[in-house]
Amino acid sequence: CYFTRPDAAPAVKKSRVYYGSLEEKERERLSSDIVSGTATGSDAVKAGIEAGNINISSGETLEIEDRVSERQQEALAEFERRRRARQITVSTDDAEVKAGLRALGEPITLFGEGPADRRERLRGILSVVGPDALKKSRKDEERAKRSQDECQQTWYHEGSTSLKDSRLWLARYSLPRAMRRLEAARAQRDIAEATRTIRQQELHKSLRNLNNFCSQIGDDRPISFCHFSPDSKMLATASWSGLCKLWSIPECNLIRTLRGHNTNVGAVVFRPQAGLSLDQSDVSLASCAADGSVKLWNLESDEPVADIEGHSERVSRVSWHPSGRFLGTTCYDNSWRLWDLEVQEEILHQEGHSKGVHDLHFHPDGSLAATGGLDAFGRVWDLRTGRCVVFLEGHLKEIYSLHFSPNGYHLATGSGDNTCKVWELRNRKCLYTVPAHQNLLSAVRFQPTDGHFLLTGAYDNTAKVWSHPGWTPLKTLAGHEGKVMGVDVSPDGKLIATSSYDRTFKLWLSE
Q: Are 81 and 210 contained in the same domain?
A: no
Q: Are 446 and 337 contained in the same domain?
A: yes
Per the structure, how many domains does the chain have?
2
Q: Among the listed ranges 143-147, 252-256, 381-385, which one has the minimum average pLDDT value?
A: 143-147
Looking at the predicted structure, is the pLDDT value of residue 150 above 70?
Answer: no
Give the E-state strand segments of 252-366 in sequence order: 254-259, 265-270, 285-289, 294-297, 306-308, 315-320, 326-331, 335-340, 345-351, 357-362
Q: Are 125 and 205 contained in the same domain?
A: no
- Residue 40 in any domain: the answer is no
398-413: pLDDT as tens digits: 999 999 999 888 999 9
Q: What is the mean pLDDT of residues 460-466?
A: 90
56-105: pLDDT as tens digits: 666 566 555 555 577 888 888 888 878 877 778 788 888 888 888 888 88
Q: Are 192 and 286 contained in the same domain?
A: yes
- Tell me the three state secondary structure of residue 158: coil
Q: Are 257 and 366 contained in the same domain?
A: yes
- Residue 227 in any domain: the answer is yes
- Residue 119 in any domain: the answer is yes
- Residue 390 in any domain: the answer is yes
Bridge partners (DSSP) listed for residue 495 = 509
Q: Are 122 and 166 contained in the same domain?
A: no
Cβ neighbour number for residue 259 with a 10 Å cutoff: 13
- Residue 22 in any domain: the answer is no
Q: Which amino acid is at 327?
A: L
Q: Which structural domain, as residue segments, surrounds residue 304? A: 161-510
Q: Are 119 and 199 contained in the same domain?
A: no
Q: Are 441 and 415 in contact (CB under 8 A)?
A: yes
Q: Are 220 and 245 in contact (CB under 8 A)?
A: no
Q: Are 299 and 186 contained in the same domain?
A: yes
- Residue 64 in any domain: the answer is no
Q: What gap in Å lies between CA 49 and CA 33, rounded to an integer?
A: 15
pLDDT for res 307? 87
Looking at the predicted structure, is the pLDDT value of residue 155 above 70?
Answer: no
Q: Are 125 and 166 contained in the same domain?
A: no
Q: What is the mean pLDDT of residues 430-447?
A: 89
